[in-house]
Amino acid sequence: MNKSFTPATLLEIYRKGRLINLIDERFRGLLRSGRLAAVYYSPRGQEILAAAMGVHLQQTDYLVTTYRGIHDQLAKGIPLRPLFAEYYAKATGACKGKGGPMHITHPETGVMVTTGIVGSGLPIANGLAWASQLKKDGRVTLVTFGDGASNIGAFHEALNMASLWKLPVIFLCQNNLYGESSKYAKCTAVDNVAERAAGYNMPGVTVNGNDPEAMWRASGEAVARARAGEGPTLLEAKTFRFMGHYFGDPGAYIPKEEYDAHLARDPMPIARAAVLSSGAATEAELAAYDDEVNAKIDDALQFAADSPFPDVSEIDIDVYGAAA
């Protein structure tokens, strides 16, 4: 792992984050206007942490994520057309319209499972990592989950097993300080989720997930550790979600002062300013990048809109496969 955090790396992270940011903005606009009808859990505010982790991963590495997972999927490299078409419930969607936003799968880019069951991805990630360990294929598995998920039993079972078996897995807890409408501190008995790593004899690292360099360093170490066969890491990225739990959540449970304080530290404008001051890109270049991304979004939205809905005969397909 390259230890120096270069302007080029910062730019790469910003660009990944900006892709997420622009898509999220577009989706929320479409949802507001009723042109998109889907369950949606906005990642607004969590773009940089996903991007800073994403730059360390290979296409062949595995990702297990959650309903709030579009940032993770995009950072992993999922192409826009099948992703958008799945949100649009179309036959051309990644899952032929049968999974939906909460169950995005795209094995080509390593997006293996997206689950709507809190905490349930961790045990599955262990299995993917176990397979890599057996095959010695050098892949790592990233599993992401929220702060709330760290309180479910599967978390405990999975971390203990991963540590015992020295699995090549990274447990990324995205601590956005809320689980639905409940505050972190009301539900979690430790100040930092990563403190729990001590109970599993694995490294536990708490980092400001909104700081590109800090997140990049911590992610790089966790990925390198996993890849070297040294075992799992519990990495806790502190962050905040600006759009509430689900699209349409009024967020009345978040005190205004708290919200405003986080908004003042919104990672996207801060990362943009850092890119500009680092000299990695000019205003004009960033604007051109936005145009490029927006064109891709336009294309994928058009593709999704133009695609047919699944044929009703699909209902009986993929229930069972052909026997081996």
Partner 1 sequence: MSAVIDTAAKPEVITFTEAFSRALHDAMEMDPAVITLGEDIGDEEGGGIFKVTKGLSTKFGTDRVKTTPISEQAIVGAAIGASLAGMRPIAEIMLMNFITVPMDQIVNHAAKLRFMSGGQTHVPITIRTRTGAGAGTGGQHSDMLEAWFAHVAGMKVVVPSTPADAYGLLLGCIFDNDPCLFIEDQLTRTQTGPVPVKGEIIKLGKAHIAREGTDVSVIGYGRPVRDAMVLAEKLAAEGISVEVVDLRTVSPLDTETVLKSVAKTGRAVVIHEAPRSFGCGAEIAARIQESLYSELKAPVLRVASRDVTVPFSRVLEAAYLYQASGIEAAIRQTLEKRAAR
Ligand X SMILES: Cc1ncc(C[n+]2csc(CCOP(=O)(O)OP(=O)(O)O)c2C)c(N)n1
Which residues are at the interface with ligand X (CB under 6 A)? 68, 116-118, 145-149, 176, 178-180, 245
Residues 121-160 that bind partner 1 (CB under 8 A): 122-135, 141, 153-154, 157-158, 160
Q: Does 179 bind Mg ion (CB under 5 A)?
A: yes
Report which DSSP code applies to 3.
Answer: -
Whole-angstrom CA distances from 26 to 16, 86, 107, 143, 301 are: 16, 15, 25, 26, 10
Single out the segment in contact with partner 1 by CB under 8 A; choices: 40-48, 250-258, 283-291, 311-319: 311-319
Shortest Å, Cβ 140 to partner 1: 12
Instruction: Tell me the closest approach of the beta carbon of residue 96 to partner 1, in angstroms.
Output: 3
Residues 161-180 that bind partner 1 (CB under 8 A): 161, 164-165
Structure tokens at 242: 């600006």
**CB of 237 vs Mg ion, minimal distance in Å:** 11
Count of beta carbons in the 10 Å neighbourhood of residue 260: 10
10-40 as b/e: b if 16+ CB within 10 A: bbbbbbbbbbbbbbbebbbebbeeeebeeeb
d(CA 28, CA 7): 31
Place of tokens 């044929």: 311
Report yes or no: 89 and 130 within 8 Å, Cβ to Cβ.
no
Q: Is 115 in the site for Mg ion (CB under 5 A)?
A: no
Amino acid at 178: Y
319 binds partner 1 (CB under 8 A): yes
Q: Tell me which of ligand X, Mg ion, partner 1, none is bound by residue 149, counting a contact when its beta carbon lies within the kind-specific cut-off of 5 to 8 angstroms.
A: ligand X
Report the interface residues with partner 1, using CB under 8 A. Answer: 62, 64, 93-100, 103, 105-107, 112-113, 115-117, 120, 122-135, 141, 153-154, 157-158, 160-161, 164-165, 317-324
Report the interface residues with Mg ion, using CB under 5 A. Answer: 146-148, 176, 179
